[in-house]
Amino acid sequence: MRRTGFTLVELAISTVIAALIGLMIVLVYRANLGTWRWGQKHMEFTQKVQLAMKQVFTDIKRVNPLVSQDARGNLWFQGEKIGDLFPNLVRIYDTDKNPDNGGEEIVFYHAIFTRPDQKTHVRLFLENGALMRETTDPNGSKRRVVVSDRVENLHFLANPLDIYEVVVQMTIIDDKDPKIREDLNFGVHLDTDLVCVKFIPST
């Protein structure tokens, strides 16, 4: 006589196999979910680091000679005429009174060649643990934005062998996980004359 259906043993074995497959799927899903969350968190932090670095690098790189206009309407680059000793200085200020680690604040002007009177004063510094960017327009109006909200060890250094280079050092910390941090150390070279970097010690 031909038998139909499953025995109790076969059903039990099938149930165990199905349960094991289900358990493996859950474990793989959990592992992938954890990896995805880790990657998402680190990707957001990496973007934050890149944005801060790009802002500082671009700001310093955009420094150009200042343009002035004399009484006859002629345009001159500041520092170009004989006796004119005022090129566009990138000033690094030592605010912690420790000149060995460079300065903690950098100040410079962004200029527009076609409009000599339109120059913007730019200042990068730390305030309450945040990297700040302050701009002052020709009318004296100030605007502040946070470049990165958790930064430590911000230092700007002048290269004694190259008056056109600024070295930037800072540590960016993830605001969600303080154990995640990135130490940055990069140089920005000013590819122009009539601009130079000057370190100003604290008084």
Question: CA angle, corner 119, sides to 49 and 66, nearest 5?
Answer: 100
Question: CA angle, corner 62, sides to 153 and 118, nearest 5?
Answer: 115
| Residue numbers in the chain where pLDDT is lower than 50 | none
Predicted pLDDT at 191: 83
Predicted pLDDT at 73: 67
Q: Which residue bears the tokens 């969600």? A: 176
Predicted pLDDT at 105: 97
Looking at residue 168, the DSSP 8-state letter turns out to be E
Predicted pLDDT at 93: 95
- Cβ proximity of 110 and 123 under 8 Å: no
Predicted pLDDT at 29: 73
Using one digit for the tens of pLDDT, what is the confidence trace for 138-173?
889 999 999 999 999 999 999 888 888 999 999 999
Predicted pLDDT at 148: 95
83: left (phi over 0), alpha (psi -120 to 50) or beta: left
Predicted pLDDT at 70: 66
pTM of the model: 0.74
Predicted pLDDT at 75: 65
Predicted pLDDT at 51: 94
Predicted pLDDT at 195: 83
